[in-house]
Amino acid sequence: KFDAVIFDLDGVITDTARYHYLAWKRLAETQGVPFDEAFNEHLKGIDRMGSLDLILASAARSYTQEEKLALADEKNRHYVQLISTMSPADLLPGAVPALDACRAAGLKIGLASVSKNAFAVLEMLGITGKFDYVVDAAKIAKGKPDPEIFLKAASELGVAPERCLGVEDAVAGVASIKAAGMTALGVGDPAVLTQADRVIPGLDRFSLAV
């Protein structure tokens, strides 16, 4: 049924979604913006500046572009510090077996993360070599839920979108996969990832039978 599987990174392969949350929370609170897990759910899969705009929408004042860039840098410094000690021990259960199962089935494997830290995270996890193609987030114009990033991965892998399975933990990410015309495997809560074709709690339950 599939010729390629395209994975998201943060919250699927490793628990960096937690670190993005902590870094945004710290930044938001310096601006007097209340921040909790429920609000964070809307930020999952959303690129850096898009996330900042969503946070600052609840701030008491408006910000210049220069101020926004400085705040985005500050959040990234918090994030880079939080991920600095990552290692293969931070791979989520089932992540490597899922990648190896795709490889054993003869499928192409792609990574579609809008994170500009994705290459560094893959290196720290020791899994860069497991992917046939990793999208460079710096070259993507429209973040999730736009389908651009998943379509870019499919075209670089040489696989038609309808022969691709996308794997995502974020509402925006599942929307991106579906808008690309692919099958979506959600990782998380089925009550949240309502647009996914199937939802599993984690990659330890991964199978190609979607």
Q: Does 11 bind Mg ion (CB under 5 A)?
A: yes
Query: Which residue from 206, 119, 117, 118 is spatially nearest to 167, judged by alpha carbons?
Result: 206
Residue 115 binding result from ligand G6P, Mg ion, none, given CB thresholds of 5 to 8 Å by partner type: ligand G6P
User: What gap in Å lies between CA 17 and CA 13, rounded to an integer?
Assistant: 10
Residue 117 binding result from ligand G6P, Mg ion, none, given CB thresholds of 5 to 8 Å by partner type: ligand G6P
Q: Is 51 annotated as a binding residue?
A: yes
- Phi and psi at 53, nearest 5°, equal -60, -40
Catalytic residue among 10, 73, 90, 146: 10
Q: Compute CA 42 distance to the chain's CA centroid, rounded to the nearest angstrom.
A: 13
- Phi and psi at 120, nearest 5°, equal -65, -40
DSSP state of 111: E
Q: Is 114 annotated as a binding residue?
A: yes
Piece of the chain touching ligand G6P by CB under 6 A; list 28-36, 101-109, 110-118, 200-208? 110-118
Q: Is 73 annotated as a binding residue?
A: no
Choose, by CB under 5 A, the member of 169, 186, 200, 206 that binds Mg ion. Answer: 169
Residue 10: active-site member: yes
Q: Which structure tokens are listed for 47?
A: 């690129």
Interaction site with ligand G6P (CB under 6 A): 10, 17, 20, 43-48, 51, 76, 113-117, 170
